[in-house]
């Protein structure tokens, strides 16, 4: 089986209109850098011909591989499937709208090589990187959700929701099989699991451009669902749904004790 230095996973749901520009951009960057890489596009049950468009792109760009899910199961599930199928030593997942450009990927990969297990691209470590910010109501919703993430899960990060994150294969292959949230709340869950099992998680400022056209998230309805998913993650942690230990190639990882206010003790 061919292995790669990098795997780039892109979840796609009804992205036929804008996936071409994103893939062309990523493929050109990979070629310019002479990367050993694969691009896995996971079509999450699209009904607009996304798979057909991606298959045509795969014929143009050998780095592209299409994975088709026959029904829509959520972004988190699509990324989990992509990571399961990935063959790279370092794994990045990125949004189909190219909101954080692939040019920022080396910053995350450098952080992994420097010792991190998870490198999260963040819009809020340095807001100056927001080249085209979200509208005020989405910014407000995002800040409120970040507060909930800190309160419910004890995650002291500024931006768990940005769809541009990199994992060592060792960390990703250990964490994502434990994922229970298939929808938008998966981001907080997998970061929570990474911290729970002692993986080193860092935030890296990345460029961000808000593209309103084609956005799939419904700010209020999905916001309520994401809050309920945070509660589900906390419940899973309390009731033993997540194992206390991980057996992976580098050794056994034991979950830190959960403290009374809901965070994890270091």
Q: Which residue has the higher pLDDT, 31 or 263?
A: 31
In a domain, 244, yes or no: no
In a domain, 147, yes or no: no
| Residue 47 CA to its chain's centroid (Å) | 23
List the beta bridge partners of residue 6. Answer: 37, 90
Here the CATH number for the domain that contains residue 180 is 3.90.550.10
**Confidence label for 162 from pLDDT (cuts 50, 70 and 90):** confident
Is the pLDDT assigned to residue 249 strictly greater than 80? no
What is the domain extent for residue 127? 4-134+156-215
In a domain, 118, yes or no: yes
**Range from 46-50, 95-99, 215-219, 255-259 carrying the lowest mean pLDDT:** 255-259
In a domain, 149, yes or no: no
In a domain, 233, yes or no: no
Number of domains making up the chain: 1
Residue from 79, 85, 37 nearest 191 by CA: 79
In a domain, 116, yes or no: yes
The span from the CA of 196 to the CA of 215, in Å, is 31
User: Are 43 and 69 within 8 A, CB to CB?
Assistant: yes
Answer yes or no: pTM beyond 0.85.
Answer: no
**Range from 12-16, 145-149, 163-167, 234-238 carrying the lowest mean pLDDT:** 145-149
In a domain, 237, yes or no: no
């Amino acid at each position: 089986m061919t292995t790669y230095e990098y795997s780039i996973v892109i979840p796609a749901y009804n992205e036929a209109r804008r996936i071409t520009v994103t893939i062309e951009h990523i493929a050109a960057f990979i070629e310019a850098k002479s990367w050993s890489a694969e691009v896995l596009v996971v079509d999450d049950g699209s009904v607009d011909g996304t798979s057909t468009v991606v298959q045509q792109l795969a014929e143009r760009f050998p780095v592209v591989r299409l994975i088709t899910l026959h029904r829509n199961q959520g972004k988190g599930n699509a990324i989990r499937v992509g990571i399961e199928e990935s063959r790279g030593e370092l794994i990045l997942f990125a949004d189909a709208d190219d909101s954080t450009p692939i040019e920022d990927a080396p910053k995350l990969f450098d952080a992994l090589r420097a010792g991190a297990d998870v490198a999260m691209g963040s819009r809020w470590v340095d807001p100056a990187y927001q080249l085209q910010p979200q509208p005020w109501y989405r910014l407000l919703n995002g800040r409120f959700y970040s507060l909930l993430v800190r309160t419910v899960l004890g995650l002291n990060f500024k931006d768990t929701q940005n769809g541009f994150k990199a994992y060592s294969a060792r960390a990703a292959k250990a964490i994502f099989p434990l994922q229970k949230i298939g929808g938008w709340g998966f981001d907080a869950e997998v970061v929570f699991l990474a911290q729970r099992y002692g993986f080193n998680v860092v935030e890296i400022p990345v460029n961000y451009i808000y593209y309103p056209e084609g956005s799939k998230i419904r700010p209020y309805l999905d916001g309520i669902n994401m809050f309920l998913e945070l509660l589900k993650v906390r419940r899973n942690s309390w009731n033993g749904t997540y194992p206390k230990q991980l057996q992976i190639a580098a050794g056994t990882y034991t979950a830190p004790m959960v403290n009374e206010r809901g965070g994890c003790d270091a």
